[in-house]
Amino acid sequence: MHKNGFTMIELLVGIVIAMLCMITMLMLFKQISHISVDTTQDAEYDAQLQSGILIAQKFIQNAGYGSGQQTDIAIGSFSGNPAILWLYAQDLNATPLAYQCQGIGEEITTEDGQKVHRLYLLKKTACGKTEAITAGTWEKDQSITVLRNNSNTPLYNYAMTSGSCSPFGIDKASAKGLKQITLTAVRQHMSSGVGQNIQTVVCLNNIATT
C-alpha cells in the first residue's frame, strides 16, 4: 500500500540542504558587511587625508607675503619627516616689518600598537630674514589632522619646482610667481597598488620673479 509523506532519511537530507543554504547566506552577508565597513572606513580616511591637503594648501599660500624672496620657502624636516617651511609678513603696515615663520610637518607615533600620523602647523619663535628658514627650532603650533596607518613612512610629501603658475582666476601670462609646491598624500592602500595618491599643486604667487 502506497503511503504519502517523507521518510526520515529524506527529512534529514532536506534539513542538511537547508542548513548549508543558511550557512552560505550568512557567510555572504558577513562578507558584504565587511566590504561595506571597509569602504566606509576608506572613505573617512581619504576625507581626512584630503582635509589635511586643503588646510596645508591654504597656509602655504602665505609664503613670501610682504617679502617675495626665493629663500622665503624651503623644504626641510620635522620629527625626522619631510616638512615645508616658509616666512611671511603678517602686517604690511608695521614698521619695521615683523616676520612670521610657519610650516607644515608630520609626526609619527605608536599608540596601542598602531602607527598614528599627525599633521601639524609649525611655528618658529625666533623668526627673521638673517638666517635660513630651515635653521632654528621648529615647534608644533596646532594639529591639522590625525590618521591611523600601519606605515612607518610619512603620508604627506612635498616637492618644490620652478615653472610659471597662476592662482585660480588669474591669467597664466600675468603670473608673478615662478615657483610651485606639489603636495602629495599617500592613500591607505597604495602599498597594495590600489587607487592613486592624492596630489595638488600650490602656486607661490607671492614669490617674486628672479
84, part of any domain: yes
What does the pLDDT read at residue 191?
Answer: 43
Regions of the chain short of the pLDDT cut 50: 191-194
- Per-residue pLDDT tens digits for 127-142: 877 788 998 899 999 9
Calpha distance 122→196 (Å, rounded): 28
**15 in a domain, yes or no?**
no
Residue 19 within a domain: no
Q: What is the pLDDT of residue 32?
A: 77
47 to 53, 145, 194: CA distances (angstroms): 10, 10, 17
How many structural domains does the chain have? Answer: 1
Residue 173: per-residue pLDDT? 57
Is 100 a domain residue?
yes
193 inside domain = yes
Q: Is residue 145 part of a domain?
A: yes
| Residue linked to cell 537547508 | 18
Q: Which domain holds residue 144?
A: 43-203
Residue 161 lies in a domain: yes
Query: Mind listing the pLDDT tens digit for each residue in 143-184?
Result: 999 998 888 899 999 999 887 776 655 555 555 566 889 999
All residues at 6 or more sequence positions from 185 whose CB lies less than 8 Å from its CB, including other chains? 49, 50, 52, 53, 155, 156, 197, 198, 199
- Is 49 part of any domain? yes
Prior bond of 167 cis (ω within 30°): no
